Amino acid sequence: MRLTPTLCLFLCASLFGAQPNVVLIMADDMGWADPACYGSKQNVTPNIDKLAQDGTRFTSFYATQAVCTSSRCALMSGCYPNRLGLGGTALPPKSKLGLSTTEESLATLLRKAGYHTGIVGKWHLGDNSKFLPPAHGFDESLVLPYSNDMWPLGYVPGDVTKNYPPLPWLADGVPFGTVKDWTDMDALTTVQGFRAVRFIRQNAGKGKPFFLYLATSMPHTPLGVSSEFKGKGVNRYADTMADIDDKIGSVLAALRETGVEKNTLVIFTSDNGPWLNFGRHAGSAGPFREGKGTTWEGGVRVPFIIRWPGVVPAGKVTSALAGNLDVLPTLVEACGASKPVLPIDGQSFLAAAKGTSAKARENFAYYYGDKLEAVRVGKWKLHLPHTYRSYENLVPAAVDGKPAAYKQGKVEWELYNLESDEAERNEVSAAHPDVVADLKAFAEAERKRMDEAKRPVGHIGN
């Protein structure tokens, strides 16, 4: 008897049980310390907190690069984004670049494994039809092709700019209206939550598993919030967080009400740290230094919760090191899908999620753009010499919700012990020359590996 891929999947399902449904929720610019279960005192997030109570919460989980497109590239491809030519970028409208269709995305791999796939929310991996969700394995899609600040109306009402075209909705790759005014911006989270719930209700229990990727546009600025939550929190950011949490609650309720909750793997995370120069319209990195766009912990360390009833322990907190480039191989393993044909950088952390291992990956490379800025092995993190945007001691913007000007920071060779100094304030290279030497050797090997591993970026015309 010839073992075809379909037959292999059938045998795996027979031996190990049905493939789980997957709901992957990624917020935009939400800081590590923004959910209450990560320590927030201002944000009310009962549904995210309940997800943590019912699942496992990671405290040392990373966005692979601290900017929109690059982080999403890692999530969908399992690769460091600079391997694929998308490091350090938030692609603008009408970009000629995107995630290459030679890459097998997470959705492509799960669809090959028998899943019905859908995405709702922000895409940001190329707005040309060649790079949109239908070209990357999604059966259904309702997306904004890029960030919600890439529109003509700026960050606050009256702040009109001429830099961007209208912000479009795309349904299965086809234009489907625009986010035309501030009322539409306030409705974004509601629309995305409604569409996610509809996807679940239409696909639950229909004879094949489903994969839903819900990428909320919020709390990226400009902040939008529905009338139900506007003015209810301590500030507009807290209102927006409550709005997002409410829609996550609706998604979880839909899983429960359709009878698929127990066989659904749910992940919640963020694409990078908070955009701190927006002041009270920005989130919090908690104890960590700096924010979005940096390789300090505040830029790349993000919340991550995984719930899979009966498989992932409930109420557990783990310090296992992992990143969003590891989500693809983890879900591929959990769902019995085939691995990508081309090499990836991600490593499955399923054993750590299940609680059968205290560790996941041993090391992590902190790139921004194509530049290696830091490396971590175990508890040790070594910064390589580089300049960076800095949010420390910013002068607040004159108008609440508009960005303050960045400062510029500079770092030389600096070593930090993240177990005893998670805030990266106590530089200890002089006391540990052997550790510095080892991490320098690892950094050099990593740069050489990446230089040899690069693949062409997706480009219109190739």
Q: Is 68 a catalytic residue?
A: yes
Beta carbons within 8 Å of 203's beta carbon, 6+ residues apart = 116, 118, 210
Q: What is the per-residue pLDDT for 223?
A: 98
For 126, phi then psi, to 5°, come to 120, 130
Q: What is the pLDDT of residue 17?
A: 56
Please state, in angstroms and as integers, the Cα–Cα distance from residue 298 to each residue in 280, 387, 443, following that order.
Answer: 17, 16, 21
Dist CA 205 CA 213 (whole Å)? 18
List C-alpha distances in Å: 342 to 149, 338, 347, 355: 34, 12, 14, 29
Which is the catalytic residue, given 68, 73, 79, 335? 68
Q: What distance in Å separates the CA atoms of residue 390 and residue 380, rounded to the nearest whole number?
A: 22
**CB–CB of 75/107 below 8 Å?**
no
In 156-279, beta strands by DSSP E: 167-171, 174-179, 210-215, 264-270
Which residues make Cβ contacts (< 8 Å) with residue 85, sequence separation at least 6? 97, 100, 454, 455, 456, 457, 458
Residue given tokens 């390589």 in the structure block: 384
* Cα angle: 122, vertex 128, 130; to 5 degrees: 105
Q: Kind of pairing, strands 116-122 and 210-215?
A: parallel
Report how far Cα 185 is from the mean position of its chain's Cα atoms. 21
Peptide bond preceding 222: is omega within 30 degrees of 0, i.e. cis? yes
d(CA 169, CA 194) in angstroms, rounded, equals 15
Beta strands in 160-260 (DSSP E): 167-171, 174-179, 210-215
* Parts of the chain with a pLDDT under 70: 1-17, 462
For the whole model, what pTM was predicted?
0.96
Pair 316, 310: CB distance under 8 Å: no
Report d(CA 411, CA 388) in Å as an integer.
8
Of 73, 79, 116, 124, catalytic: 124
Active site residue 335: no
What are the C-alpha distances in Å from 49 to residues 234, 272, 306, 428? 19, 19, 12, 36
- Note whether 196 and 247 are within 8 A (CB): yes
pLDDT for the residue 162: 73
What's the Cα-to-Cα distance from 413 to each of 109, 300, 378, 441, rounded to whole Å?
40, 19, 18, 13
What is the structure's pLDDT at 15? 38
Read off the pLDDT of residues 317-331 as tens digits, 9 standing for 90 and up: 999 999 999 999 999
Q: In this predicted structure, what is the pLDDT of residue 161?
A: 75
* Cα 407 to Cα 425: distance, rounded to the nearest angstrom: 18
- Which domains does the chain carry? 5-361 (3.40.720.10), 368-459 (3.30.1120.10)
> Are 94 and 354 contacting, i.e. CB atoms less than 8 angstroms apart?
no
Secondary-structure breakdown of the chain: helix, strand, coil percentages, each rounded to the nearest 5? 30, 20, 50
User: CA–CA separation, 178 vs 169, rounded Å?
Assistant: 5
SS3 of residue 122 by DSSP: strand
What letter represents residue 299's amino acid?
G
Asked if residue 20 lies in contact with residue 264, where contact means CB atoms within 8 angstroms, the answer is yes
pLDDT in tens, 73-90: 999 999 999 999 999 999
Alpha helices in 263-394 (DSSP H): 297-300, 327-335, 350-354
